[in-house]
Structure 1
Amino acid sequence: MGEEILLVEDDADIARIIQDTLRQQGYAVAWATTGMEGWEDFQQASYDLVIVDWMLPEMDGITLCRNIRLASDVPIIMISARKEDVDKVEGLDMGADDYLEKPFSLAELKARVASQLRRWRRYNGQDELTQQSIYIGGLAIEWQNERVLLKNRDVLLTPKEFELLKLLAQNPERVFSKGKLYEHVWQQPELGDVHTVTVHIKALREKLDDPVKTPHFIQTVWGKGYRFIGEVT
């Protein structure tokens, strides 16, 4: 075993029980007490599974789940005292792979974790993220190396510019508001300085030689935000 699990739970008693149980199964378990802390931990390390409580301070579990799913296909198990079907559907719609109602048995938790990790191991063995994407117009993105080329010439992006491009390109045709881009890339609440996003998008477009009026890659959806329209060759 030895898989890495991120647990995001603000109730210390519940978190300790889950942590101890999973560690006895041979898993390495990191614990975050708030949604924002969990998001920061996820960005800084590599995990094989994430367990997220619905009700969390700073950033709720639904928002955290949505952010993680935009960045990764890692399995997510949501735990919550909410029992209504509509709540379960919302959690699954936001990217959770499984939903556990509180209170749950430790045997059920262990079984759900083992099941999701088996799926993750199969996924990683068969279908890893494509190392390079090439688009009409001469844009090439090497995901692992964080390298961008335009017509076979290196495009030197800042880390934030690359994260913006990555988020947009890996979610083609999806419209992101400036607030959501700021929340995801800068890891701050979306009420932050969204002008920063405008500045970075402008710089990114200039480096990609992508005019606003006739874009090949990043399109402005007026009044809503931006989306990636590049076509894979």
Structure 2
Amino acid sequence: MNYKILVAEDDEDIVELLTLYLSNEGYEILSANNGEDALRIAKETKVDLAVLDIMMPKMNGYELTKKLREVSNLPILILSAKNQDSDKILGLGLGADDYLTKPFNPLEIIARVKAALRRFYDLGADAATSSDRLCVGDLVLDTSTCTLWKNDTEISLTPTEYKILALLMKSPGRIFTKVQIYESINGEYFENDDNTMMVHISKLRDKLEEDPRSPRYIKTVRGLGYKIESKD
């Protein structure tokens, strides 16, 4: 499949570099040098994945991520010079699936783009053909529609949050390490991905738990990883 990738970045050298490497992998590249044009392209054209800078004119990457999430659940990868944990937490919290900092290795970008496309389109299709519903306590995850319900209330999930929750709910009580979770949803694990995984787990708890500081469902097994339980 000839995937279309939107690159929103105001640095022409980076756009050219990403276009060169991504095009060589067979992807069709659409580019914009500001957030407003990127949003317009995403609304007018079927885009399969977006790579976004944060510091852009007219609309920054955070606002663009938020706007994209209102109309699409496509994979979003943030690529930014802003490298503080607070920046990453904000980007992931707004709905991005991944966050990389500049300077970057183009080969790592390729690996992460491939993994994001695979987990969203290929693995997502597989999930839809398996058991339609996963139930743990008050949670019901419909894998045919990729929607989550808690006590008849729908809870919105990002694609990455859905993948994590589906993995855990398929095996209640089983402990998954951070590496196992990340490799399952992302295809490849990098040493700097620990904080990213912790942010995704934290955001899931905010959505699922009555008291995220004392979680009922997603529990930390100290020194090992995470598991989901149906009861306290």
**Normalising by structure 1, what TM-score?**
0.54
Q: Could you say which structure has the higher helix fraction?
A: 2
1:95 lines up with 2:95 in the alignment? yes
- 1:18 aligned partner: 18
Separation (CA, whole Å) in 2 of partners of 1:10 and 1:114: 23
Separation (CA, whole Å) in 2 of partners of 1:97 and 1:89: 11
Percent identity for Structure 1 against Structure 2 = 36
| 1:128–1:6 distance in 2 versus 1, CA, 3 Å | farther
- 1:58 aligned partner: 58
Secondary structure class of the residue paired with 2:18: helix
- 1:83 aligned partner: 83
State the shift of 1:124 in Å.
Answer: 4.5
Would the aligned equivalents of 1:80 and 1:101 in 2 still touch at CA under 8 Å?
yes
The CA RMSD over aligned residues, in Å, is 1.9
| Count of residue pairs brought into register by the alignment | 133
Separation (CA, whole Å) in 2 of partners of 1:12 and 1:4: 19
Separation (CA, whole Å) in 2 of partners of 1:128 and 1:104: 36
Separation (CA, whole Å) in 2 of partners of 1:116 and 1:55: 23
| 1:18–1:86 distance in 2 versus 1, CA, 3 Å | same
Q: Indicate the structure (1 or 2) with the bigger Cα radius of gyration.
A: 1
Secondary structure class of the residue paired with 1:74: coil
Counterpart of 1:123 in structure 2: which amino acid?
G
- 2:118 aligned partner: 118
Separation (CA, whole Å) in 1 of partners of 2:34 and 2:78: 14
State the shift of 1:170 in Å.
Answer: 10
Counterpart of 2:54 in structure 1: which amino acid?
W
- 2:36 aligned partner: 36
Separation (CA, whole Å) in 2 of partners of 1:58 and 1:128: 38
Separation (CA, whole Å) in 2 of partners of 1:28 and 1:61: 21
Counterpart of 1:22 in structure 2: which amino acid?
L
Counterpart of 2:124 in structure 1: which amino acid?
Y
State the shift of 1:129 in Å.
Answer: 5.2
Structure 2: runs of 5 or more not aligned = 129-142, 147-153, 157-232
Cα distance per residue 1:110-158 (max 9 Å; x no partner): 010001000111225525759xxxxxxxxxxxxxxxxxxxxxxxxxxxx
Separation (CA, whole Å) in 2 of partners of 1:33 and 1:2: 23
Cα distance per residue 1:19-64 (max 9 Å; x no partner): 1110000101101111000000000011110001001100000000
Separation (CA, whole Å) in 2 of partners of 1:50 and 1:129: 22
Separation (CA, whole Å) in 1 of partners of 2:42 and 2:144: 19
Separation (CA, whole Å) in 1 of partners of 2:49 and 2:29: 10
Counterpart of 1:41 in structure 2: which amino acid?
I
Secondary structure class of the residue paired with 1:29: strand
Cα distance per residue 1:177-214 (max 9 Å; x no partner): xxxxxxxxxxxxxxxxxxxxxxxxxxxxxxxxxxxxxx
**Normalising by structure 2, what TM-score?**
0.54
Would the aligned equivalents of 1:4 and 1:48 in 2 still touch at CA under 8 Å?
yes
Structure 1: runs of 5 or more not aligned = 131-168, 172-233
Counterpart of 2:100 in structure 1: which amino acid?
L
Give the alignment of 1:147-162 within 5 angstroms.
none
